[in-house]
Amino acid sequence: MIESLLQLPPGIVMIVGALLLPFFGKRGAAIGALALSLISLVLFCLTPAGLGGNIELFGNTLNMVRIDPLSRIFGVIFHLAAVMASIYALHVDDVKQHVGGIIYAGGAIAAACAGDFVTLFLFWELTALSSVVLVWASGTERSYKSGMRYLIIQVTSGVLLLSGAIMRLSETGSLTFECLTEPGMSAAAWFGLSHDTAMPLSTLLILIAFGIKAAFPLLHNWLQDSYPQATVTGTVFLSAFTTKLAIYALARGFPGQDELIWIGCAMTLFPIVFAVIENDLRRVLAYSLNNQLGFMVVGVGIGTHLAITGAAAHAFCHIIYKALLFMSMGAVLFRVGTTKATELGGLHKSMPWTTVFCLIGAGSIAGFPLLSGFVSKSMIISAAGEEHMFWVFIVLLIASAGVMEHSGIKIPFFAFFAHDSGKRVKEAPLNMLIAMGMAAVLCVGLGIAYPLLYSLLPYEPTIHHHGHEEAYRPYTIPHVVMQLQLLMFAVLAFVFLMKTKLYPAEIDATNLDTDWVYRRLLPMFCGWLGWVFGVFDKAWRGVAVGGIGKVIDTMGNFFNERGVLGRPWATSTMAFWAALLLGVFLLIYYM
């Protein structure tokens, strides 16, 4: 029995089991979701490395299951995220959230272990269809519209992936999901930005499909649009799977693709400004998610063993500390009813445990030594330095200072300290505190016992030192001193700006970036088109109605009692016309 289950895609137990949850009632569904996550985790740990679940399709052998070091680490962290999110959601009595969340997690796990494009596409789309339930479950008109935009964009990613896979099948005769890049192949050549060989269209479509889910610049705003509209527990699920699945896909298919370096650099920088001026703290976390994804994309783009291991390690740590931050803000939303900075402050007095857990998450994302973010992010920065990418190195340092400001300081400061809003509420429910405590322990544990994390990585992290390779060590004096200097100067800058009142004021407003195109410009353009059409329609209708009126008047002149065809005719005239018509018919007949 177990051997048969191990041949199926990992996560399939969660997907199938989730369909049975509605039969167990509200409380049973919550407990069942947690049980399914734990059972799937155990089965995944028992699954041997290699290819499995082989089936024949289109003359190809599809490997539905591929377990190797890269898929293993993502499978492990996806399972851990599902367990923590399920514990966090134990108090929820909305069955559809449990069903959607567990199917979503199972789909992401199965996709991360797919060995072919068909299997990847099926679970890629399943994650889109199931995750939108977590947005719609909020039950507001705004969440419905946001969910529709999210679904359209996610399904578009799947369509591009399928199109690229079909084209690749016709080009190569293979559906195997493997490295798609070759030396000298460039996506920028399609746009005249490079003199290298342009990558095949099939590969470009797959890259764009991955880029949509990874929230590349200009393709990113579905994330800030939808995540803050999801339910309290739904956002925790959402923060863990979609974007990190895309990072896995990029690491599998496009390691060393140069364009990813500069795309990642842009991703680390542009969210900083929006996060600083944003009032909704869950939306701030969505922007900081973009920032952290940028580090991972840079690591994939550099493509060395140290960079790829750094990207995988950072994805692992990021899922935990980002879930912790979203859980802490979810607890605030659950108790206070808002996460707007203008309406919060002073909550450390009534939510002390949530405050402590949030501070640990904030320290982790900022990269404080002894916390998980430090031991993963430093690998990517070191990889850039080892490859002598000076400007990339500088950009990543600036981005590290930026994330310290908007997530390391702004989130806990405005939510729990700052001005006292006077709100006094209960501490978060016990199950929420347990989930946050688990994530906090992992943040600290991974930061201290980092060799345990490094043992899960696709490659052994090594670095060149004095002409030879040696094991990578994050806790060296230069690393620690540089990071502490960076963080302390970021704190000093924040304090200076606050004291001089130069820090952007928190305003209760909705900030738009690239979504301005489809939320403002496109409706305005459609409205203008409607006005132009209305003008032409009115003019055309006037001309048409006038012409028809004239035709009717003319015909009336013929058929009224004084018209040619309406007045009485003499018998001789009628006989003449009847004879004439008969002659015409006879002529036509004989011809």
pLDDT class of 506 with cuts at 50, 70, 90: low
Question: Does the pLDDT of residue 160 top 70, yes or no?
Answer: yes
pLDDT in the model for residue 135: 95
pLDDT tens digits, 442-454: 999 999 999 999 9
Q: What percent of the chain has pLDDT over 70?
A: 93
Q: Could you tell me the CA-to-CA distances from 214 to 207, 294, 351, 360, 516 in Å, in that order?
A: 10, 9, 34, 26, 20
pLDDT class of 319 with cuts at 50, 70, 90: very high
Contact predicate 113/40, CB 8 Å: no
**Section 355-372 average pLDDT:** 94
pLDDT in the model for residue 362: 94
Give ∠ CA 13-15-20 in degrees, rounded to 5.
90
Give ∠ CA 556-558-564 in degrees, rounded to 5.
150
Q: List residues bridging with 197 in a β-sheet.
A: 185
Q: Measured between alpha carbons, how far is 492 from 135 in angstroms, rounded to an integer?
A: 38
**Section 358-372 average pLDDT:** 93
**Taking all residues of the chain, what is their mean pLDDT, rounded to a whole number?**
88
Question: Does the pLDDT of residue 510 top 80, yes or no?
Answer: no
Contact predicate 309/458, CB 8 Å: yes
pLDDT class of 325 with cuts at 50, 70, 90: very high
Q: Measured between alpha carbons, how far is 176 from 338 in angstroms, rounded to an integer?
A: 46
pLDDT class of 499 with cuts at 50, 70, 90: confident
Q: Going by C-beta distance under 8 Å and a sequence separation of 6 or more, which residues neighbour residue 34? A: 83, 86, 87, 90
**Section 57-73 average pLDDT:** 86
Q: What percent of the chain has pLDDT over 90?
A: 53
Q: Measured between alpha carbons, how far is 85 from 328 in angstroms, rounded to an integer?
A: 12
pLDDT higher at 261 or 276: 261
pTM, full prediction: 0.87
pLDDT tens digits, 272-295: 888 888 888 999 999 999 999 999
Closest CA to 416 of 325, 323, 495, 488: 325
Residue 171 identity (one-letter amino acid):
E
Give ∠ CA 177-14-119 in degrees, rounded to 5.
20
pLDDT in the model for residue 575: 79
Crossing angle, helix 95-112 and helix 117-136, to 10 degrees? Answer: 160
pLDDT in the model for residue 584: 86
Question: Does the pLDDT of residue 317 top 90, yes or no?
Answer: yes
Question: Does the pLDDT of residue 308 top 70, yes or no?
Answer: yes
DSSP state of 53: E
pLDDT in the model for residue 567: 65
